[in-house]
Amino acid sequence: MPAPEILTERLVLTPFLRGDAPALFDYRSDPEVCRYQMWVPRSGEEALHFIDGFQSVVFDTPGTWFQLGIRLRDIGPLVGDLGVHFPPDEPLQVEIGVTVARGHQGRGFGTEAVRGLLGHLFGPLQKHRVFASVDPRNRASMALLKRVGMRQEAHFRESLWFKGEWVDDLVFAILQWEWNGR
């Protein structure tokens, strides 16, 4: 399955380009942006290495993560990214994550990008369920997931060892029929 190019009103969601490495490093190493994230690049080279790692990954392959860049349609620079995880034993389920550069937050780009991705996953790809894992302290992310119609399904207590402490983990999800009937 070739990686998609998903168009929304203001955005285009496409795979990373090698030239995205400086922007990716800048916003992903911002302390405000990476507070609840596992992957934090320490240099532009590490961001480039991360991008190169996806060149051989085929979109929608069970057991892989894929990363799509979020770009403004008219201008083109990277303003964020979407993580798309295809679990190894669940071909009809997908885990997602979203990041928007601090300077572009609060303008609806995160919401618009996730809606565009859900439309693609439930439309052409005919997935059954999409879920996301979020730290309960991450209010902006929880608000976004609720805004696109995802429901909180679980609250796991201190289930993740993250940055030197045990932290809680919330699972949000939406089913294909819920998305179609929203």
Window 88 to 127, contacts with ligand COA (CB under 6 A): 97-100, 105-111
By CB under 6 A, residue 33 contacts ligand COA: yes
Smallest distance, ligand COA to C-beta of residue 148, A? 9
Rounded least distance, CB 46 to ligand COA, Å: 18
Closest contact distance (angstroms) between CB of 29 and ligand COA is 12
State in angstroms the smallest separation of the CB of 2 from ligand COA. Answer: 25
48 touches ligand COA by CB under 6 A:
no
Is 36 a binding residue for ligand COA by CB under 6 A? The answer is yes
Q: How far apart are CB 131 and ligand COA at their closest, in Å? A: 11
Q: In what order do the strands lie in the sheet with 129-134?
A: 6-7, 11-15, 64-72, 78-86, 93-100, 129-134, 165-175, 151-162
Positions in 131-150 near ligand COA (CB under 6 A) = 132, 134, 138, 140-141, 143-144
CB closest to ligand COA, residue no: 108
**Residue 114 contacts residue 148 (beta carbons within 8 Å):** yes
Q: Which residues bind ligand COA (CB under 6 A)?
A: 33, 36-37, 97-100, 105-111, 132, 134, 138, 140-141, 143-144
